Amino acid sequence: MIKPKSSDSLETPKITKVAPVTSRVSPWLAPLVYTFGCHLVVPSYFGRVEVTGQENIPTTGPVILAPTHRAWWDSILLAYATGRSVTGRDLRFMVSVNEINKGIQGWFIRRLGGFPIDPERPAIAPLRHGVELLKQGEMLVIFPEGNYFRDGSLHPLKPGLARLALSAESSHPGLGIKTVPINIAYSQAFPRWGCDVSIRIGSPLQVADYHTGPVKQNAKQLTTALETALKQLSGQQVTTVGTPVLSGQRSELKMPF
């Protein structure tokens, strides 16, 4: 006769806890990097840097900056055009986990408001953190095309930005999230020393205006409105076939959802 195992011998199921995602802006490093980048790196590396529409950037409240993505310089130029020297605000970035794990680059990213998302196996934790940052009135950067595109054309947008924005707005009615379209264009496909840059900042979209029906429909409408705004800023037509960067030149954010 087989004796039943005692309760002490029964295996307890292991519960895997999802580690929360956090981010921070170093109070001593951020001022140094912003000053160095805005007054030395950008002016010395690039030729002409033209920024228009800075009056469209909200100086308070939750904001999502939605720029086109053309080069790894985009993040630096966004800080130059919209960061603390212009608005008095620091930027927060959703960053590919591969980028944030790269040595000295990752060290800086983690101390300058960046937090990781795995584009191959997206988890809920970084998305929740993005929502929390918006609830705290922060300025969050998400590249809606989801990858680098060097051809200068606007490519179809991923729905992830709209879903995150609508999720934050619905969970906290009256939050007043604004999404700001930004077009970044370089005079060279691979920006080199002396390259000219144009940064055009459009009028913000009120996320609450698209919180009126079914979730999928709302997200689609907000994504379409953002795409239209980016098209107007860039003067380009949306293409249906993408030309992402080569392997090893991954975007800061590759929206998989």
Evaluate if residue 100 carries a pLDDT over 60.
yes
Evaluate if residue 205 carries a pLDDT over 90.
yes
Please tell me the predicted confidence (pLDDT) of residue 211.
85
Rg (CA), the chain: 20
Q: What string of DSSP letters covers 32-66?
A: HHHHHIIIIIHHHH-S-EEEE-GGGS-SSS-EEEE
Rounded Cα gap, residues 185 and 191, in angstroms: 10
Closest listed residue to residue 226, CA positions, set 134, 152, 163, 150: 163
Output the average pLDDT for the chain: 82
Evaluate if residue 11 carries a pLDDT over 60.
no
208: exposed, middle or buried (Cβ count in 10 Å: 0-12, 13-18, 19+):
middle
Is the alpha carbon torsion for 84, 90, 96, 99 positive or negative?
positive
At 12-58, the pLDDT tens digits run: 444 445 567 888 888 999 889 888 988 899 999 999 999 999 999 99
Evaluate if residue 252 carries a pLDDT over 70.
no
Rounded Cα gap, residues 58 and 40, in angstroms: 26
Please tell me the predicted confidence (pLDDT) of residue 156.
87
Please tell me the predicted confidence (pLDDT) of residue 237.
55
Please tell me the predicted confidence (pLDDT) of residue 9.
45
Evaluate if residue 87 carries a pLDDT over 60.
yes
Half-sphere exposure at residue 153, Cβ-oriented, CA atoms within 13 angstroms: 11
More confident residue, 89 or 249: 89
Pick the CATH number of 22-234 from 3.10.310.10, 2.40.10.220, 2.40.10.120, 3.40.1130.10: 3.40.1130.10
Cβ neighbors of 121 (< 8 A, separation 6 or more) are none
Evaluate if residue 249 carries a pLDDT over 50.
no
> Do 159 and 223 touch, CB atoms closer than 8 A?
yes
pLDDT-derived band at 160 (thresholds 50, 70, 90) equals confident
Any bridge partners for residue 96, and if so which?
117
User: Phi and psi for 144 in degrees, rounded to 5?
Assistant: -70, -20
Please tell me the predicted confidence (pLDDT) of residue 119.
62
Rounded Cα gap, residues 206 and 210, in angstroms: 8
pTM of the model as a whole: 0.81
